[in-house]
Amino acid sequence: MFRKLSAEFFGTFWLVFGGCGSALIAAGFPTLGIGFVGVALAFGLTVLTMAYAVGPISGGHFNPAVSFGLCIAGRLEWAHLIGYWIAQLIGGVLGAAVLYLIVSGKADFTAGGFASNGYGALSPGGYSMLAVMITEIVLTAAFLVVILGATSTAAAGAAAPLAIGLCLTLIHLISIPVDNTSVNPARSIAAAIFATNGAMGQVWMFIVAPLIGGALGAVIWRYLLSPGESPEQIGQVE
């Protein structure tokens, strides 16, 4: 179990450090900025690379909403859920802390939003709380369907990380303008801790909505789309 939790810790560390790091360091860099398209790709690449690197150890969740959904889908034992959540949260916060140490070394640094998520005044496009909630639920549900489908007994398992990473890229392309994209409570909490724009006051949304979406996606897959899998056949996606 220690190896599984270590894998989730390191994978979530990499997701926050790499994804949020691309937003804070490279997105608006003069003349060479990668823009929000580059940030979307960076988040997808963090999941893709860690899914190949440590996915065989823990299942490669790196996201409390994914772990929750996989429990509902019968892919992860409920007894392991809290341990996964703790490892993911610690990994995400440490990733944000290391990133903070780096970006704060710039002479004119101000933490500001620190790649955090938000609605209303904290939404990049000024989207409402309801719009953000719907976005997070729908996109997290779709993410779970892709994860469960790509790792099902009927899929080509070696390609699963690619499908999952590209799905996360697409999710970011859709929702960065809406709320800076969460679909991951650990990522949202980690960034909000270091933000100075009041993001922590809205972080509840990016805990609740992804968990609802994760549960919804798992139910859709398990009861409508699953090719007749059982927990005994597929274990824990490992």
Q: What is the pLDDT of residues 121-164, one digit of tens each?
A: 999 999 999 999 999 999 999 999 999 999 887 766 678 899 99
Question: How large is the average pLDDT for residues 218-237?
Answer: 66
Asked whether the predicted pLDDT for residue 232 surpasses 50, the reply is no
Please tell me the predicted confidence (pLDDT) of residue 86.
Answer: 97
pTM of the model: 0.91
pLDDT digits (tens, 9 = 90+) for 27-72: 776 666 788 899 999 999 999 999 999 989 998 999 999 999 999 9
User: What average pLDDT does the chain have?
Assistant: 91
Burial 6-22 (b: 16+ CB within 10 A, else e): ebbbbbbbbbbbbbbbb
Give the whole-angstrom CA distance, residue 16 versus residue 160.
21
216: nearest Cα among 136, 129, 127, 151? 136
Give the whole-angstrom CA distance, residue 101 versus residue 166.
29
Please tell me the predicted confidence (pLDDT) of residue 153.
Answer: 76
Asked whether the predicted pLDDT for residue 107 surpasses 50, the reply is yes
Residue ranges covered by each domain of the chain: 2-234
Q: Does domain 2-234 have CATH number 1.20.1080.10?
A: yes
